[in-house]
Amino acid sequence: MGTQNLQPAIVQFAQLDKLLALGRANSLWPMTFGLACCAIEMMATGASRFDLARFGAEVFRPSPRQCDVMIVAGTISKKMAPAVETLYDQMPEPKWVIAMGNCAISGGPFVYEGQYGIVEGAEKLFPVDVFIPGCPPRPEALIEGILELEEKVTGSRRWPRVEVG
Amino acid sequence: MEQQATLDLLYVAAFFLGGLGFAVGPFIIALLLAPRSTRNTQEKTKQLIECGMEPIGDAWIRFGIVYYLYALMFVAFAVDILFLFPVALVYNRAGESGLNVSDLQAFVEILIFVGILSLIIIYAWKKGVFKWERKIYNPR
């Protein structure tokens, strides 16, 4: 059942990989896929006010085969978990996962002793690259998460870090 | 003259190869540069349905043709309406349109036109298009 071993490409050049990473980081294609209320914030992020397009990540694709990023936006119920895993399987490499909101991080408010309906965090299903805390996170937080992911892909931050206060 | 023709042929060949490379090249580049496998959790990478759900059976089944006939009926009447647009333009001033028809004549003519086309309904009715049942092809 499943593997996390990745067979690398046939041709590899360090400089070319850097270039590809730069291209990928600045045109991340997320998947149109929401599980709960966090998805509303995700929609707001994609819409005109917060405008995810400024960071090149606005092309929400309806098919996992065209996606780079899976934004797990919401509670993963045990009933939904196989579908989420299937979508993850169907995304081609390179792929990244953002766990958005407390439910996707750890199960959030639904965790209590003896609960039987919720997967306690997306990381129980597959590896997650970026965690965005919040219940739900504000659109700015999702944008920051995307920027974090860009930093992870390229190794350097392109946009200035916002200072608190 | 002979040389010119050869040169032209070479141009055609060059452009043909260029076009071919342009079309096939990206596939080869993707093959070389893309990772050769995908990390997965449930071995569902090759599943055809992309909505996460288990597919119910095969896509290569025989579909009922009932709706197709119904849609053809719609097309027939859509074309009918299309022919009525120019009529609607001149109908109010049939007498003065230079077509040399009286108002009554215009009315009767459009009645005959629509009447004949309306026979489609009776024809389809007799053929059983409006009955929503599966048409089973019986070779015997």
Q: Do B39 and A82 touch (CB under 8 A)?
A: no
Which residues in B lie closer than 8 A to residue A86 (C-beta atoms)?
42, 44, 47, 52-53
pLDDT of residue B138 exceeding 70: no
Average pLDDT, chain B: 84
**CA–CA distance, B48 with A70 (Å, rounded to integer):** 19
CB neighbour list of residue A16: distance below 8 Å, 6 or more residues apart? B33
| Ramachandran angles phi, psi of A140, nearest 5° | -60, -35
Instruction: Average pLDDT across each block of 10 residues of chain A; the chain has 165 residues. List them in order.
Output: 80 88 91 89 92 89 90 92 91 91 90 91 90 91 92 89 80
pLDDT of residue B7: 92
> Of B31, B36, B40, which is closest to A3 when you measure between CB atoms?
B40
Place B92 in a pLDDT band, splitting at 50, 70 and 90: confident
In the numeric block, which tokens belong to residue B127?
A: 């053929």
**CA–CA distance, A69 with A100 (Å, rounded to integer):** 12
ipTM above 0.85, yes or no: no
pLDDT of residue B87: 84
CB neighbour list of residue B37: distance below 8 Å, 6 or more residues apart? A3, A5, A6, A7, A93
**CA–CA distance, A69 with A72 (Å, rounded to integer):** 9
Give the bridge partners for B79, in sequence order: none
**CA–CA distance, B84 with B68 (Å, rounded to integer):** 25
The three-point CA angle A47-A53-A55 to 5° equals: 135
| B43 and chain A in contact, CB less than 8 A | yes
Q: Do B35 and A89 touch (CB under 8 A)?
A: no
**CA–CA distance, A83 with A35 (Å, rounded to integer):** 11
What DSSP element (H or E) covers A73?
A: strand A69-73
Q: Do A65 and B42 touch (CB under 8 A)?
A: no
The alpha carbon of residue B27 is apart from the nearest alpha carbon of chain A, in Å, by 14
pLDDT of residue B95: 62
Closest-CA residue of A relative to B47 is A90
**CA–CA distance, B12 with A99 (Å, rounded to integer):** 54
Q: Do B39 and A4 touch (CB under 8 A)?
A: yes
* The A130-132 sheet, strands edge to edge: A69-73, A96-100, A130-132
Q: Do B52 and A8 touch (CB under 8 A)?
A: no
In the numeric block, which tokens belong to residue A162?
A: 């916002």
Full-model pTM:
0.71
CB A52 within 8 A of CB A80: no
The alpha carbon of residue B58 is apart from the nearest alpha carbon of chain A, in Å, by 18
Q: Count of CB atoms within 10 A of residue B97's CB?
A: 13
The alpha carbon of residue A47 is apart from the nearest alpha carbon of chain B, in Å, by 23
